[in-house]
Amino acid sequence: MEAYRQEIIVGSVVIYMLFCVATGLWAMRRTRDSSDFFVAGRGLGPIVVALALFSSTLSGFGFVGGPGIVYSIGVSSFWMVVISSTGYAVGFFLVAKRIRMIAELRDCLSLPDVVAARYGSDAVRFLIALTIVLGVMGYLATQILAMAVVMQAILSGTETFANIGLVSCVIISSAVLIFYCVTGGIIASVYTDVVQGFIMMVAGSLILMTAVSVFDGGMQEATAIILADDSEAIMPFGSAGVMASLGWFFVFGLGLAGQPHLITKMMMNKKMSDNRSILPMSLFGYVMAALLWISIGIVMRAAVIDGIVEPLALPDDAASTFLSIFANPLLAGVVFAGLFAAIMSTSDAFLNIGTAAIIHDIPTALRGRSVENELFWARVVTVLLAIVAAGFALYSHYADATLVALLGAFGWGTFAASIFPVVAVGLNWRGATVAGAVTAISAALLINFVVQLSSIVPPYGISGPLVAFVTSMILFIGVSLITKQPELAPDIEDVLRI
């Protein structure tokens, strides 16, 4: 079997991609209008929503960057993962019920729709939509680039595609992504997420079993090797220190309820009462998949320190090196398919909310109505958005990484800082005002931009997104408290009371 390692890996990825294409074709017949395209007609069952929710949370970053970060800075990066239980709990307590209620009551297609209904303000709608578009571009570009780099690494190991270029890989991977997103919209996206989530869970648990068998003494031997080399790396705050760790705890934990691609999925379940089972199922799936993140990183750091494995050229090589040395070819095939699943499940979610922001939210905010024939334009803009993001990805790779890096700053941290207060707090506190929301979003965008542009490095590992998040929370509540209490629409008043 070892002789066919590359063929098995390529075969697994090809089967997975064919599945995505088939799902797109199947979902196309179920997509009749823009409500189906953007929110699946609010008719999804609990298992589908749970798997879609967690698989969109764990992007390619979790499968490639995650083990690499553990390899690099040790336990510090665990804080991004172990916070998931708190993050999901906060997200469901604050967002799941009321976003679903407003979405149904006002027939909302997107997060900015919900925000506009809550605040009765097109200014807030516009700012949220703008934040989403900026964030989506950076996120999508990095995801497409990651997908292409992994595809090139896999295909170049075969004789037929030994000299395949990165541009070809960007085209192939983007084409599959575009196909199922355009044909099937969010319905294709969430149903591929189900399989993607399942593959990620299987990959995570199998990798854990492989990782603990690398050293005779299991995980304890691996951690003891790291402890002997540098105790801080394997202690609770890792190499990056206490404030970097707690910053991630804050931004990744609470910030989960500010991620538009995740909370939009909370609008899609058929029955409100399904939330009680969606929460534990999502968390379980995330924990299973995240085992890969932690176990590969720890074992690879210990293996390099112990001299079993040559030092890695880049920390991000941790996962691929682990798979090539320690994993059975079949497992490597499942994990590589899982990697594509992780990247695509996040990308399709971003394509969907980015398209909604462009064809629905921004026009509605500026001229009071969406575009005519939304479904047609949704499909056109999905294609264009993916092409522009792929262009950004290639430009960043070959010419100048600044633009994508800048847009990348509008990643998780900026979504968390600008969207969390306005949505998660605002949906539960009737005293939240438009002035508070506008101030919080503007401050979050400004702080993240300034920190990114000026390359400010705060002391003790305090991060820009952490400062932005705390500031936006203070400003949101503070400004709302001192500005005139709003007159809410009667139905929104009722929703906030229920």
Q: CA dihedral defined by 61, 66, 69, 75, rounded to 10 degrees?
A: 140
DSSP string, 25-77: HHHHTT--SHHHHHHGGG-B-HHHHHHHHHHHHS-HIIIIIHHHHHHHHGGGG
Footprint of another protein on 289-308 (CB under 8 A): 294, 301, 304-305
Residue 186 within binding range of another protein, rule CB under 8 A: no
**Nearest residue (CB) to another protein, 44 versus 294:** 294
Helix, strand, coil percentages (3-state) for the chain, rounded to 5, are: 80, 0, 20
Does residue number 275 form part of the binding site for another protein (CB under 8 A)?
Answer: yes
Q: Which stretch binds another protein (CB under 8 A): 54-62, 176-184, 337-345, 427-435?
A: 427-435
Q: Are 463 and 251 contacting, i.e. CB atoms less than 8 angstroms apart?
A: yes
Between residues 104 and 167, which has the closer beta carbon with respect to another protein? 104
Helices 111-119 and 434-454: angle between axes, nearest 10 degrees:
140
The whole-angstrom distance between residue 487's C-alpha and the CA centroid of its chain comes to 35
Q: Tell me, by CB under 8 A, how many residues bind another protein.
A: 95
Q: Which residue lies nearer to another protein by CB, 30 or 97?
A: 97
The reply to whether 429 sits near another protein by the rule CB under 8 A is: yes
| Residue 368 binds to another protein (criterion: CB under 8 A) | no
Which range, of 38-46, 143-151, 160-168, 424-432, touches another protein by CB under 8 A?
424-432
Q: From the list 9, 39, 99, 467, which residue makes contact with another protein (rule: CB under 8 A)?
A: 467
Query: Does residue number 461 form part of the binding site for another protein (CB under 8 A)?
Result: yes
Smallest gap, in angstroms, from Cβ of residue 246 to another protein? Answer: 5
Least distance to another protein, CB of residue 225, Å = 12
The angle subtended at Cα 99 by Cα 93 and Cα 104, nearest 5°, is 140
Amino acid residing at 392? F
The 10 Å Cβ neighbour count of residue 284 is 13
Smallest separation, CB 255 to another protein (Å): 12
| Residue 450 contacts another protein per CB under 8 A | no
Cα–Cα distance between 127 and 22 in angstroms, integer? 37
- List the structure tokens of 115: 């925000």
The DSSP call for residue 424 is: I
**83 lines the binding site for another protein (CB under 8 A):** yes
- Alpha helices, H only, 307-328: 318-326
Residue among 184, 185, 285, 315 that touches another protein (CB under 8 A): 315
Nearer to another protein, 61 or 88 (CB): 88
Q: Please, which of residues 37-76 interact with another protein by CB under 8 A? A: 71-76
Q: Does position 11 bind another protein by CB under 8 A?
A: no
Q: How far apart, in whole angstroms, are the C-alpha atoms of residue 142 and residue 49?
A: 25
498 binds another protein (CB under 8 A): yes
Q: 158, 213, 220, 373: which one contacts another protein (CB under 8 A)?
A: 220
CB 215 → another protein: shortest distance, Å?
10
Task: Find the part of the chain contacting another protein (CB under 8 A) among 108-116, 350-358, 411-419, 423-431.
Answer: 423-431
Is residue 471 near another protein by the rule CB under 8 A? yes
Counting contacts by CB under 8 A, is residue 470 touching another protein? Answer: yes
Give the span between the Cα atoms of 94 and 49, in whole angstroms.
17
Least separation in angstroms between CB 309 and another protein: 11
- 152 within 8 A of 320, measured Cβ to Cβ: no
Is 174 a binding residue for another protein by CB under 8 A? The answer is: no
Pick from 168, 162, 132, 134: which is nearest to 148 by CA? Answer: 168
CA 369/CA 363 separation, integer angstroms: 6
| 269 interacts with another protein by CB under 8 A | no
Nearest distance, CB of residue 471 and another protein, angstroms: 7
Nearer to another protein, 101 or 419 (CB): 101
Query: Which listed residue (14, 15, 280, 482) binds another protein by CB under 8 A?
Result: 280
Q: Is 44 helix (H, G, I), strand (E, B) or coil?
A: strand
Residue 219 makes contact with another protein by CB under 8 A: yes
Distance in Å, CB of 49 to another protein, minimum: 15
3-state secondary structure of 169: helix
List the interface residues with another protein, window 87-126 (CB under 8 A).
Answer: 88-90, 92-95, 97, 101, 104-105
Which two tokens mark 258?
Answer: 């500010």
Query: Side chain identity at 401, as an amino acid letter?
Result: A
Q: Which of residues 224-253 bind another protein (CB under 8 A)?
A: 224, 227, 229-244, 246, 249-250, 253
- Rounded least distance, CB 483 to another protein, Å: 14
CA angle centred on 351, ends 291 and 186, rounded to 5°: 85
231 — phi, psi (to 5°)?
-60, -35
CA distance 315 to 293: 13
Tokens, residue 59: 């992007």
